[in-house]
Chains A and B, each alone.
Chain A
Amino acid sequence: MSQQAKRNYGAGALLILAVLFVALLFVVSLVFRGARFDLTENNLYSVSQGTRNILASIDEPLNLYLYFSDSVSKDVPGLTPYRDYSRRVRDTLTEFASYAGGNLNLQVIDPLPFSEAEDAASAAGLTGFPANSAGDTFFFGLVATNAVEGRETVAFFDPNKEAFLEYDLAKLIYNLNQVRKPVIGVMSTLPINRGFDPATRQMREPWIVLQQAEQLFEVRQVAPTVNSIDPEIDVLAVVHPKDLTDATTYAIDQFVLRGGKLAVFVDPQAEMDIPADAQTNPQAAMFAERSSDLSKLLETWGVAYDAKQVVLDRTYGLQVSAGPGRRPVRHVGILSIDTAGMNGDDVTLAELTTINVSQSGHLAKKPDAEVEFESLLTTSEDSMSVSSDRVRFMTDPSSLLDGFAPTGQNYTLAARVRGTFSSAFPDGAPPAEPVEGEEPAAPPTAEHLAAATEPNDILVVADTDILSDRLWAQAQSFLGQRLISAFANNGDFIINSLDNLTGSSDLISIRGRATSQRPFTRVQELQRQAEARYQATEQQLEQQLQETERKLTELQAGRDDNNPLILTPEQQTELARFQDERLRIRQELRQVQSNLRGDIESLGTWLKVINIGLVPLLVTLFALTIAWRRARRREEANR
């Protein structure tokens, strides 16, 4: 073969190789779709068993129309993340269809400008936004329908919500497959519901947790004065039951005995329970009673709860701002419970990482009660229970640490109670309370139940603030939609619990897998220790200061001459000592404060030194040793 022929042959071979490479890549991307091994701890990227169960339970064909403006977005810089994400959405839906036994028909539609498809996308309520200078609209949403005019939509797929993709889609399919949405009744004395706010003279949005519940359930308001609970209600959520009449309590009692599910939120100090005159009369607001109790029912059902006791916890206490220009302080009444404080075996909490509560009470099983009492949320052992007055009249959160003596007990903040309950009204319905000028109300028509026939589950939470937005989520507007960003799992826990009580546990297994916070626990622990040290030193030094001050006062009081303005020599010495002492203590406190982060900083420095320098140093030493040995061997050989 001549040189030229060989070159041509080689060039041809390279060309064929390149074509083969591209073709193989193409085949690989088609054939091995979905062949993957998810190494993430929570299987973030795999279809979970819960989703599979939901997909397998589809009993009538569902149609999914994925609208993605492929043509419009092709030449638009800036839409690349959406194009990438569209692949992920399509892959997930295709995978869903493979588990649905032919009951899920997926169609991918490219809604071209001025086409029928574009009109259909708009009509279905998908969010479109202008993609280019020609004003073409970009759509990326989903419309799902069932055979009986049921329709669910995802208005727009946000790549930032990728981790929730599976849950959002599974929820949509679950909702579409439901004959009727479960009904949740909300009886609350707090402003949790949508309503009119007299202070701002505007309509008030419901709390985020309720908005999330509305996506899954039919939520009905139940007045805290009713005499009977609508039997259509599947789960009754009683929030901050304050001053309930016997008739209302009896209605709840009978509702539970008939098999209705109950979630109770009581609180020794509900921060959201703000008196109407709080603005004009802050003094009265401070003294206002903010506790709630459902003791008549809870006691009967084996739950001990004291509406006058609040739990403090040094380990879970959150850092809060102490005002402008001041060092943040640890508030041992506002707790951020991590996985160690959660019952991970319970489906409602599995895979959640953080739940925040504020000035919570605690629950326990009554010693003689014949019920199963399962703690869901507990404090750490570094906690204690104090009178709710301590937090009620507190001006500085750090004062809660004065005299802090942990009992070593894990206090229960939320519990699931299971049992065959009996009525708290053994003698039947309570007599109607006469109201002046009104006819006595007719007694409830339903027959009185003295005891339930079947075991039932109730959920009891000793905090109402757990529901409030400020402890777990923020809402913001994006493209006209209200987007929720959660910084704790409170909402997941509440929705999981409601969902669990309505009996659908498949969705629960999918929710809450997305939290990817993996904080440096060791650094947090060091921070806590440093603070504890600071507090201890501060207390000790302040005691010394008080002691010196006391001595000074004693000297002054002990004088019997007539000239109290002139200091005796002893007093002068003591005063000078006192001033020196105060200066020293102040300096020492400043020093302690500046040392506060010392341990953490030195840990950081050490880790940096080890990670950047240690192995290179060892490798260098190793190389030098080898070189030295070789040189010696050479010398020996030459000798």
Chain B
Amino acid sequence: MSQTLNIFRREIASYFATPVAYVFIVIFLLLMGWFSWGFGRLFESGQADLYGPFFNFHPWLYLFLVPAISMRLWAEERKSGTIELLLTLPVSMLQAVIGKFLAAWAFCGLALALTFPVWISVNYLGEPDNGVILAGYVGSFLMAGGFLAIGSCISATTRNQVVAFILTVVVCFAFLLFGLSGVIDFFRGWAPAALVDALAGLSFSTHFDAIAKGVLDLRDILFFLLVIAFWLAANAIVIDLKKAD
């Protein structure tokens, strides 16, 4: 546990050692603000409700921003050769994987938390259902974790950060896509129903939507936790495999 914590600290510190983290947060906040207040017309909607004009955009923002965080997690270590050093430390593979992941997740959480003015704004303008907003934030954080775990595992498969970024976007996009009714309908035409239903059940957007509506269903929460656990375990296996290369 303490080793995981050490890795976590080292990673977090490394984020803020360069301007990259600040640039990321600034871009994230600018986009989030513009999507909600400009494109999503939150003020003009006249409703103190964040479900539509704010949380709706989270999956699509994460699709590009989370891979940008995750791409360097392992690819950089592999390229610069520090991965060997890391693995010679008295740290288990899983501890390293979890520590790095938690640091990236906490960083995402910080970026998400910095959107707090939107919460203050709707509370200033009207009387929003704060329970629903809280659920939206919980769902968004869990979804970010899911995306990050995928990105972390993919980052371990390559030395090239750009390749890691693109592959992560593609895989995450697939996980989002299956939640869209249009896509599901397209598959319903020819694919076996059981498969289509199963794929729809794997979609991030359906589980996120269910949470953002205001209900913390254990099944939705466990879905994200299982996704995270699965991809992190795969991450450890991939690093172990790559060690052989």
Interface residues in chain A, defined as those with a beta carbon under 8 Å from any beta carbon in chain B: 3, 6-7, 10, 13-14, 17-18, 20-22, 24-25, 28-29, 32-33, 35-41, 44-45, 74-78, 80-81, 516-523, 604, 607-608, 610-616, 619-620, 622-623, 626-627
Q: Is B26 an interface residue (CB 8 A)?
A: yes
Given A17-B233, A25-B226: A518 touches B240 (CB 8 Å cut-off): no
Residues of chain B in range 34-58 having any CB-CB distance to chain A below 8 Å: 34, 36-38, 43-44, 46-49
Q: Are A520 and B132 in contact (CB under 8 A)?
A: no
Q: Are A10 and B240 in contact (CB under 8 A)?
A: yes
Given A32-B218, A38-B215: A3 touches B47 (CB 8 Å cut-off): no
Q: Are B135 and A39 in contact (CB under 8 A)?
A: yes
How distant is A28 from chain B, measured CB to nearest CB, in Å?
5
Q: Which residue of A is nearest B16, CB measured?
A: A626
How distant is A382 from chain B, measured CB to nearest CB, in Å?
20
24 examples of A-B residue contacts, CB within 8 angstroms: A7-B241, A17-B234, A21-B226, A24-B226, A28-B218, A32-B217, A35-B219, A36-B218, A39-B216, A40-B131, A41-B132, A74-B188, A75-B189, A518-B126, A518-B128, A519-B126, A604-B43, A610-B121, A611-B118, A612-B37, A613-B33, A615-B115, A615-B117, A626-B16
Q: Are A623 and B19 in contact (CB under 8 A)?
A: yes
Q: Are A612 and B30 in contact (CB under 8 A)?
A: yes
Q: Are A36 and B181 in contact (CB under 8 A)?
A: no
Q: Which residues of A contact B237 (CB under 8 A)?
A: 10, 13-14, 17
Q: Which residues of B contact A36 (CB under 8 A)?
A: 215-219
Please report the number of residue pairs spanning A and B whose Cβ atoms sit closer than 8 angstroms. 166
| Interface residue from B46, B134, B186, B201 paired with A77 (Cβ < 8 Å) | B186
How distant is A269 from chain B, measured CB to nearest CB, in Å?
31
Q: Which residues of A contact B218 (CB under 8 A)?
A: 28, 32, 35-36
The complex places the Cα of A368 from the Cα of B118 at a distance, in Å, of 54
| Interface residue from B16, B125, B214 paired with A520 (Cβ < 8 Å) | B125
Q: Is B60 an interface residue (CB 8 A)?
A: no
How distant is A3 from chain B, measured CB to nearest CB, in Å?
5
Q: Which residues of B contact A18 (CB under 8 A)?
A: 230
Given A10-B237, A518-B127, A627-B19: A608 touches B37 (CB 8 Å cut-off): yes
Given A25-B223, A619-B25: A611 touches B36 (CB 8 Å cut-off): yes
Please indicate which of the listed interface residues B16, B215, B238, B240 has the most CB atoms of chain A within 10 Å of its own CB: B215
The complex places the Cα of A10 from the Cα of B157 at a distance, in Å, of 13
Q: Which residue of A is nearest B24, CB measured?
A: A619
Q: Are B37 and A520 in contact (CB under 8 A)?
A: no
Q: Which residues of B contact A611 (CB under 8 A)?
A: 33, 36-37, 117-118, 121
How distant is B157 from chain A, measured CB to nearest CB, in Å?
11
> What 0/1 pattern do residues 199 to 229 of B give for CB contact below 8 A with A?
0011000000000011111110011001000
How distant is A38 from chain B, measured CB to nearest CB, in Å?
5
Q: Which residues of A contact B1 (CB under 8 A)?
A: none
User: For the side of the interface on B, what is the size category?
Assistant: 35 or more
Q: Are B219 and A32 in contact (CB under 8 A)?
A: yes
| Interface residue from A7, A608, A614, A619 paired with B22 (Cβ < 8 Å) | A619
Known: A521-B125, A612-B38. 5 other contacts (CB 8 A): A18-B230, A25-B223, A607-B37, A615-B117, A620-B22
| Interface residue from A6, A45, A75, A616 paired with B193 (Cβ < 8 Å) | A75
Given A80-B184, A607-B37, A608-B37: A44 touches B121 (CB 8 Å cut-off): no
Q: Which residue of B is nearest A33, CB measured?
A: B219
Given A39-B132, A45-B214, A75-B189: A616 touches B29 (CB 8 Å cut-off): yes
Q: Which secondary structure dominates chain B's binding surface? A: helix
Q: Are A77 and B217 in contact (CB under 8 A)?
A: no
Q: Are B19 and A519 in contact (CB under 8 A)?
A: no
How distant is A310 from chain B, measured CB to nearest CB, in Å?
30
The complex places the Cα of A45 from the Cα of B213 at a distance, in Å, of 9
Q: Which residues of B contact A616 (CB under 8 A)?
A: 25-26, 29-30, 33
Q: Is B84 an interface residue (CB 8 A)?
A: no
Q: Which residue of A is nearest B138, CB measured?
A: A39
Q: Are A80 and B185 in contact (CB under 8 A)?
A: yes
Q: Are A44 and B214 in contact (CB under 8 A)?
A: yes
Q: Is B89 an interface residue (CB 8 A)?
A: no
How distant is B118 from chain A, measured CB to nearest CB, in Å?
6
> What 0/1 pattern do residues 165 to 206 of B give for CB contact below 8 A with A?
000000000000000010011101100010000100110000
Q: Are B128 and A619 in contact (CB under 8 A)?
A: no
Q: Is B244 an interface residue (CB 8 A)?
A: yes
Q: Which residues of A contact B121 (CB under 8 A)?
A: 607, 610-611
Q: Are B188 and A615 in contact (CB under 8 A)?
A: no
Q: Which residues of A contact B233 (CB under 8 A)?
A: 17
Given A17-B230, A38-B215, A78-B185: A522 touches B125 (CB 8 Å cut-off): yes
The complex places the Cα of A569 from the Cα of B149 at a distance, in Å, of 91
| Interface residue from B129, B131, B186, B241 paired with A518 (Cβ < 8 Å) | B129
Q: Are A38 and B226 in contact (CB under 8 A)?
A: no
Q: Are A520 and B234 in contact (CB under 8 A)?
A: no
Q: Which residues of B contact A614 (CB under 8 A)?
A: 117
The complex places the Cα of A622 from the Cα of B25 at a distance, in Å, of 12
The complex places the Cα of A383 from the Cα of B217 at a distance, in Å, of 47
> What 0/1 pattern do residues 127 to 155 of B give for CB contact below 8 A with A?
11111101100000000000000000000
The complex places the Cα of A547 from the Cα of B135 at a distance, in Å, of 62
Q: Which residue of B is nearest A21, CB measured?
A: B230
Q: Are A519 and B46 in contact (CB under 8 A)?
A: yes
Q: Which residues of B contact A41 (CB under 8 A)?
A: 129-132
Given A14-B237, A521-B126, A611-B118: A28 touches B215 (CB 8 Å cut-off): no
Q: Are A6 and B217 in contact (CB under 8 A)?
A: no
How distant is B119 from chain A, measured CB to nearest CB, in Å?
10
The complex places the Cα of A615 from the Cα of B22 at a distance, in Å, of 11
Given A6-B241, A35-B218: A612 touches B33 (CB 8 Å cut-off): yes
The complex places the Cα of A275 from the Cα of B43 at a distance, in Å, of 46
How distant is B226 from chain A, measured CB to nearest CB, in Å?
6
Q: Is B114 an interface residue (CB 8 A)?
A: yes
Please indicate which of the listed interface residues A77, A516, A613 has the most CB atoms of chain B within 10 Å of its own CB: A77
Q: Which residue of B is nearest A600, CB measured?
A: B43
How distant is A551 from chain B, measured CB to nearest CB, in Å?
46
Q: Which residues of A contact B238 (CB under 8 A)?
A: 10, 14
How distant is A611 from chain B, measured CB to nearest CB, in Å?
5
Please indicate which of the listed interface residues A39, A519, A522 has the most CB atoms of chain B within 10 Å of its own CB: A39
Please indicate which of the listed interface residues B43, B46, B134, B238 has the most CB atoms of chain A within 10 Å of its own CB: B43
Q: Are A523 and B131 in contact (CB under 8 A)?
A: no
How distant is A439 from chain B, measured CB to nearest CB, in Å?
65
Q: Which residues of B contact A74 (CB under 8 A)?
A: 188, 193
The complex places the Cα of A522 from the Cα of B121 at a distance, in Å, of 11
How distant is B154 from chain A, measured CB to nearest CB, in Å?
13
Q: Which residue of B is nearest A518, CB measured?
A: B48
| Interface residue from B22, B43, B115, B128 paired with A607 (Cβ < 8 Å) | B43
> What 0/1 pattern do residues 6 to 24 of B give for CB contact below 8 A with A?
0000000000100100100
Q: Which residue of A is nearest B33, CB measured?
A: A612
Q: Are A619 and B214 in contact (CB under 8 A)?
A: no
Q: Which residues of A contact B135 (CB under 8 A)?
A: 39
Q: Which residues of A contact B124 (CB under 8 A)?
A: 522
The complex places the Cα of A162 from the Cα of B27 at a distance, in Å, of 38
The complex places the Cα of A6 from the Cα of B241 at a distance, in Å, of 7
Q: Which residues of B contact A523 (CB under 8 A)?
A: 46, 125-126
Q: Which residues of B contact A25 (CB under 8 A)?
A: 201-202, 223, 226
